[in-house]
Amino acid sequence: MQAEVLAEVAKYKTHYITVTGGEPLAQKNCIPLLAKLAEKNYHVSLETSGAFSVKDVDQRIIKVIDIKTPDSEESHRNDYGNLELITKNDQIKFVLCSRNDFDWAVNFITEHKLSDKCTVLFSPSKDQLDATELAEWILDAQLPVRYQVQLHKILWGDKQGV
C-alpha cells in the first residue's frame, strides 16, 4: 500500500504533502508512510484529531493537532500528552463552535502557553459559527493566533475523500 501511495504522490509536481483523515494515526501504516515521504524530501504535514499520541511521528513532519473544544462534544478524546511533544514547527488548531468555545480556547492557550510553543490556529466550525464573527473576536482580543477556515468543507462539503 505504501508503494501505491508514493507512486500516486509522485504523479504530481508538488513538494508539499498533507496527510489528513478521518484520522491518519488510526491507520497502522501512517507513521512509516510519513517517514518515507520525508525521506523523499517532501515537506509533509500531518493533520490529526489530537486523539492519538504523536510521539512516534518523525520529527521532520509538521504536526497540526486539533484540540477539541467543549461544544464539539469530543473534548474527552483529546490526548493532552501531545502538548509536551509539540515544537515551534507544529500547529495547534481549535475548530470553534461558539463564543463559549472561543473563551475556553483563549484560556487554554494562556494556561498552556501555547503561543510560545507553536503556531495556534482558530477556525470557525462550518454552519455553527459565523466566520466574520470569529474574525472580529480574534481582532478584538488581539490574539496571537492565525485565522483559517475549514477549506476542505468549502471545497468538498462533507463528501468523503479518496
Statement: residue 161 has pLDDT above 60: no
Question: How many CA atoms lie less than 13 Å away from 59 in the CB half-sphere?
Answer: 3
Q: Please give the residue that has the higher pLDDT: either 157 or 36.
A: 36
Exposed / middle / buried, residue 20 (Cβ in 10 Å: 0-12, 13-18, 19+): middle
Distance CA 83, CA 97 (A): 22
pTM: 0.90
Backbone angle region of 127, left / alpha / beta, with phi > 0 → left and psi within -120 to 50 → alpha: left
pLDDT higher than threshold 70 for residue 160: no
CB burial string 23-33: b at 16+ within 10 A, e below: bbbeeeebbeb
Residue type for 89, please? N
| DSSP-based three-state secondary structure for 47 | strand
- Which triple of cell numbers denotes residue 83? 502538548
For residue 146, give every residue at least 6 positions away whose Cβ sits within 8 Å of its Cβ, in sequence order, or none: 119, 120, 121, 122
C-alpha cell at 93: 488548531
The string of pLDDT tens digits covering residues 91-143 is 999 999 999 999 999 999 999 999 999 999 999 998 899 999 999 999 999 99
Question: How large a percentage of the chain has pLDDT more than 90?
Answer: 83
Cα dist from 154 to 81, 139, 150, whole Å: 31, 23, 7
Model pLDDT, residue 56: 97
Q: Is the pLDDT of residue 162 over 60?
A: no
- Segment (H or E) for 132: helix 131-141
